[in-house]
Structure 1
Amino acid sequence: MAPETPMAPETPMTSPRPATSPSPFEYAPAPESRGVVDLAPSYGLFIDGEFTESSDATRGGGTGGGLRKTVNPATEEVLAEYTQAGDEDVDRAVRAARKAFSTWSALPGAERAKYLFRIARIIQERSRELAVLETLDNGKPIRETRDTDLPLVAAHFFYYAGWADKLAHAGHGPDPRPLGVAGQVIPWNFPLLMLAWKIAPALATGNTVVLKPAETTPLSALFFADICRQAGLPRGVVNIVTGDGATGAALVAHPGVDKVAFTGSTGVGKAIARQVAGTDKKVTLELGGKGANIVFDDAPVDQAVEGIVNGIFFNQGQVCCAGSRLLVQESVHDEVLDALKRRLATLRVGDPLDKNTDLGAINSAEQLARITALAETGEAEGAERWSPDCVLPSAGYWFAPTLFTNVTQAHTVARDEIFGPVLSVLTFRTPDEAVAKANNTPYGLSAGIWTEKGSRILAVASKLRAGVVWANTFNKFDPTSPFGGYKESGYGREGGRHGLEAYLDV
């Protein structure tokens, strides 16, 4: 028999609570390497299959030829210089595209498809490099460029490669023909993805392209030019001209352009529509938005909160279809708002190259100033502003995730597109009131519905004047699905077989 052991003094079953609450769980830094991207100090224009200087630079005159700088929004570090294309440079690019059109359009669809498949494969092979490049030049988190942007870019080229030899079966007539030269102007919020949305269907249908990337994010388009060479794409089929708005205006106005495709602000879209009025140019415009995200009282709250966060804080809210107006049924308003605030407190704002980062940098100082001014206007008009505690980096362009409550439809933050991480929260009592408030905007690009009832989803969606309506999700894209808007959000569709029509003479 074992000897008796003295009894230990009685101790409580649980340890006493510390005097201060434990700090939140912290992730160790997980930076992605910048070393996978080899940036040149300076870049020229990509015309007729070669990188070239500006004609104005060669002659020493004209409106082009100067060098502009592109910076990292997270650090304000200059990444590279690029060429400002002038009118003569745009003319050279259009003439190169016109020359290439006769050969490219005459190729059998299956032959064109081979080039698109090669481009898609190369994008996949270089996806890590391109994801880091996009994060450096744009400021969005590497998690988004790596897991969302680049897979979608490759998927669009794969998808339209599949259509290249099936155009007669796309529902646009038995013998659809390409339009000719497409002039394409893309924005800075999804530089490589917007390039894919436009170039892939244009090439699949037999058109040639002159593309002008945004002035703050030209690098991924210039890297794509190298991918075109790597894929053996014939000279002149894709041309890249960089520069500011003057370059884009010259491209849109060029008489040799048969088709204009623009994604960007509503103001510029209206100017383009006026400029091409009375011409034979075919035009598609994908412009601004003020999307309504509608949460009904039977919605799964935790799932809805994740969708709300993804709808407005993805890419720092710099998304044309962002769910920037949250409409919550009154009976669950407090519950949804409390859950949303708890979730926002966990978001990590900081280095975009850190794989743990949720919100990166605003794209430019100009855009940051616009977001700041509109947020200040919201406060001045009486809306209640809230942001979680977060320390913003001292260098670069940063804005904390922000909620506005006590918002009415008259508030500026509920009417104007802010294009930043700012969410306006409104309430409703009935489905009809939700629809009326959702449609009370000059825009018509996107909307979201959160409810467990399929009948309610169908009933509400059919009444919303939005080109895209998501049900129990938000910001989900697929190359097979068309995207576009109504009213001041533009016209025409990109994606799916609908996206082929914009580049066909039907």
Structure 2
Amino acid sequence: MNDMTQTAPQSLADWQALAAALTLESRAYINDTFTDAADGATLTTINPATGETLAEVASCDAADADTAVAAARRAFDGGEWSQLAPAGRKAVLLRLAELMETHKHELALLDTLDMGKPVSSSLGDMAGAIGCLRHHAESIDKLYGEVAPTGNSALGLVLREPLGVVASIVPWNFPLMMTAWKIAPALAAGNSVILKPSEKSPLSALRLASLAREAGLPRGVFQVLPGFGHTVGKALALSMDVDCLAFTGSTAVGKQLMQYAGQSNLKKVFLECGGKSPNLVFADCKDLDRVAQHAAGAIFHNQGEVCIAGSRLLVENSIREAFVDKVLAAAERMQPGDPLDPASFMGAIVDDTQHARILDYIRKGVEEGARLRTGGQALDGPGLFIPPTVFDGVTDDMVIGREEIFGPVLSVFGFDSEEEAVRLANDSDYGLAAGLWSQDIDRIMRVTRWLRSGQVFVNNWAEMDQTVPFGGVKQSGNGRDKSHHSLEEYSDLKSVWMTLTP
């Protein structure tokens, strides 16, 4: 076990010292035991800031999925967790949240080393993950069933029961925070959960497994299967004994998972998929410097590897030139640096594949005639770094204006009217998030209703907490994370009708 609970690191040197002392768990966690993959296969996880190998991690396949699913089903049917009183589940999950709090620096460090995000961002993710666990733990004993409005001759009850075995497949960009968004409501509702972390960022999930065991989660209730989507992920999706798939990732993979559900047992599938989120700036908004800072942060935070990144900036033409200049000035202050340096705003791109993909989109933007205002070239030296990149004069027929890049690339559009702004915003396959900057309350109410998006941020970008649901419409998916609504997703309704003797 790593002892990283005494002194909070403050500097680059502090974080480097913690990284040097870190012991990594690289085995799968199946049925309360850390174990190698059944066939002995491993995958290599690399620090994208240095190119150095971090660990050879167990790469699970169908045999491991079968073992984990059987253990999860036994645990669910045994009832030690699924039939435990809500107050009992609450106590265990709150203990897990406390352990995560105790080890938050270690957990943040694992995510930073694994996928390249700045450690300051990873610490923010830990606060979100811990808050999510606490929120759902505190909620579970405060949700009531229903009594139907019957006559005196009958009593109708509406009960909520856990689904059974839930497979959670999470992405690499916010490894532990996305994990918490999935497993907290599923566990709180009484399900057994099998977590499939991304093959690009499995380390924090494996550390979480040891904390879950320490917190008192019973055998088989929580398991972690690192590996690839086309192997262990597919096996879980096709399993006849998995009752629900909860997924965050690309739209293409989300569509595959829905097909697998149809090919197997019609398991429930909750999807949070891609985005190409519009950020609308009207000329009447206040404090353009502040808005520009937020607009830059909306795309360059986490290296642009964010599903709700404000990657399409729509600016009223009367202020466009001046506003873009302010965005460029803000972007200049957001250059990438060593992810272990608390002062770095951006870190490294997660791997070679994503790095090449982003650079290819930048090349296409230049070829299509968009005006490259800043960035556009990979940085020299070790590690995978791309600076903030801004294209102006983007039109809705350009690839960079339509497809999700998942990198620090901003596309700026101009508009002359409210109607044109809404048309441009809605002209997308995606509908995950949208931003709106204006001081006109009538316009705010109109445009908020017209925008086809799962969430709209008014005079802010992504300022939200656990009390509101997170999810999209159109090809951004159909699931909702956070809030009581996610607890509802991880439970089934059971109607009970009792005839009463007169």
Q: Structure 1 CA distance, aligned partners of 2:221 and 2:378?
A: 47
Whether 2:315 is the aligned partner of 1:328: answer yes
* 1:504 Cα deviation from its structure 2 partner: 0.6
Query: Partner residue of 1:51?
Result: 34
* 1:432 Cα deviation from its structure 2 partner: 1.2
Report Cα offsets for 1:303-324 as digits up to 9, x if no partner. Answer: 2112111210010000011100
Query: Partner residue of 1:258?
Result: 243
Query: Partner residue of 2:253?
Result: 268
* 1:389 Cα deviation from its structure 2 partner: 10
* 1:193 Cα deviation from its structure 2 partner: 0.5
Contact 1:266–1:287 (CA<8 Å) still a contact in 2?
A: yes
* 1:359 Cα deviation from its structure 2 partner: 0.9
Query: Partner residue of 1:378?
Result: 365
SS at match of 2:430: coil
Contact 2:167–2:242 (CA<8 Å) still a contact in 1?
A: yes
SS at match of 1:489: coil
Query: Partner residue of 2:345?
Result: 358
Q: Structure 2 CA distance, aligned partners of 1:309 and 1:105?
A: 45
Query: Partner residue of 2:51?
Result: 76
SS at match of 1:175: strand
Whether 2:381 is the aligned partner of 1:394: answer yes
Q: Structure 1 CA distance, aligned partners of 2:29 and 2:48?
A: 25
Which amino acid in 1 is paired with 2:31?
Answer: D
SS at match of 1:497: helix
Query: Partner residue of 2:483?
Result: 496
Contact 2:25–2:206 (CA<8 Å) still a contact in 1?
A: no
Q: Structure 2 CA distance, aligned partners of 1:390 and 1:322?
A: 20
Which amino acid in 1 is paired with 2:73?
Answer: R
Whether 2:120 is the aligned partner of 1:149: answer no
Q: Structure 1 CA distance, aligned partners of 2:242 and 2:22?
A: 32
- Within 5 A, what are the aligned runs for 1:447-486? 447-486=434-473
Q: Structure 1 CA distance, aligned partners of 2:146 and 2:476?
A: 26
Q: Structure 1 CA distance, aligned partners of 2:442 and 2:95?
A: 44
Which amino acid in 2 is paired with 1:262?
Answer: F
* 1:44 Cα deviation from its structure 2 partner: 1.4
- Within 5 A, what are the aligned runs for 1:297-312? 297-300=283-286, 301-312=288-299
* 1:35 Cα deviation from its structure 2 partner: 3.5
Which amino acid in 2 is paired with 1:154?
Answer: I
Which amino acid in 1 is paired with 2:285?
Answer: A
Pick closer, same or farther for the CA change 1:302–1:170 going to 2, 3 Å. Answer: farther
Contact 2:38–2:64 (CA<8 Å) still a contact in 1?
A: yes
Q: Structure 1 CA distance, aligned partners of 2:349 and 2:14?
A: 19
Q: Structure 2 CA distance, aligned partners of 1:378 and 1:391?
A: 15
SS at match of 1:288: coil
Which amino acid in 2 is paired with 1:420?
Answer: G
- Within 5 A, what are the aligned runs for 1:217-228? 217-228=201-212
SS at match of 2:436: strand
What's the % identity of the aligned pairs? 43
TM-score by length of 1: 0.90
- Within 5 A, what are the aligned runs for 1:104-119? 104-119=81-96
Structure of greater Rg: 1
Contact 2:145–2:159 (CA<8 Å) still a contact in 1?
A: no
The one of 139, 152, 163 aligned to 2:116: 139
Whether 2:167 is the aligned partner of 1:183: answer yes
Q: Structure 1 CA distance, aligned partners of 2:297 and 2:465?
A: 16
Q: Structure 1 CA distance, aligned partners of 2:313 and 2:374?
A: 16
Contact 2:94–2:137 (CA<8 Å) still a contact in 1?
A: yes
Report Cα offsets for 1:37-81 as digits up to 9, x if no partner. Answer: 55446621101111012222xxxxxxxx21111010100111111
Q: Structure 2 CA distance, aligned partners of 1:51 and 1:156?
A: 26
* 1:129 Cα deviation from its structure 2 partner: 1.2
Contact 1:32–1:354 (CA<8 Å) still a contact in 2?
A: no
The one of 100, 103, 116 aligned to 1:123: 100
Q: Structure 2 CA distance, aligned partners of 1:241 and 1:391?
A: 34
SS at match of 1:192: helix
Q: Which runs of 5+ in 2 are unaligned?
A: 1-9, 149-156, 494-502
Q: Which runs of 5+ in 1 are unaligned?
A: 1-27, 57-64
Contact 1:186–1:262 (CA<8 Å) still a contact in 2?
A: yes
- Within 5 A, what are the aligned runs for 1:153-302? 153-168=129-144, 174-245=158-229, 246-277=231-262, 279-300=265-286, 301-302=288-289
SS at match of 1:106: coil
Which amino acid in 1 is paired with 2:253?
Answer: V
* 1:217 Cα deviation from its structure 2 partner: 0.3
Pick closer, same or farther for the CA change 1:291–1:41 going to 2, 3 Å. Answer: closer
Query: Partner residue of 1:96?
Result: 71
Q: Structure 2 CA distance, aligned partners of 1:318 and 1:432?
A: 30
Which amino acid in 2 is paired with 1:222?
Answer: L
SS at match of 2:297: helix
Contact 1:41–1:81 (CA<8 Å) still a contact in 2?
A: no
Pick closer, same or farther for the CA change 1:222–1:29 going to 2, 3 Å. Answer: closer
Query: Partner residue of 2:5?
Result: none
Query: Partner residue of 1:431?
Result: 418
Contact 1:180–1:258 (CA<8 Å) still a contact in 2?
A: yes
* 1:186 Cα deviation from its structure 2 partner: 0.5
Q: Structure 2 CA distance, aligned partners of 1:122 and 1:41?
A: 17
Pick closer, same or farther for the CA change 1:224–1:45 going to 2, 3 Å. Answer: same
* 1:103 Cα deviation from its structure 2 partner: 2.0
Contact 1:262–1:269 (CA<8 Å) still a contact in 2?
A: yes
Contact 1:401–1:422 (CA<8 Å) still a contact in 2?
A: yes
Contact 1:31–1:355 (CA<8 Å) still a contact in 2?
A: no
* 1:386 Cα deviation from its structure 2 partner: 2.2
Pick closer, same or farther for the CA change 1:176–1:389 going to 2, 3 Å. Answer: closer
* 1:390 Cα deviation from its structure 2 partner: 9.5
SS at match of 1:433: helix
Q: Structure 2 CA distance, aligned partners of 1:105 and 1:447?
A: 38
Contact 1:32–1:132 (CA<8 Å) still a contact in 2?
A: no
* 1:127 Cα deviation from its structure 2 partner: 0.9
Which amino acid in 1 is paired with 2:203?
Answer: L
Contact 2:73–2:164 (CA<8 Å) still a contact in 1?
A: yes
Contact 2:338–2:344 (CA<8 Å) still a contact in 1?
A: yes
Which amino acid in 1 is paired with 2:198?
Answer: A
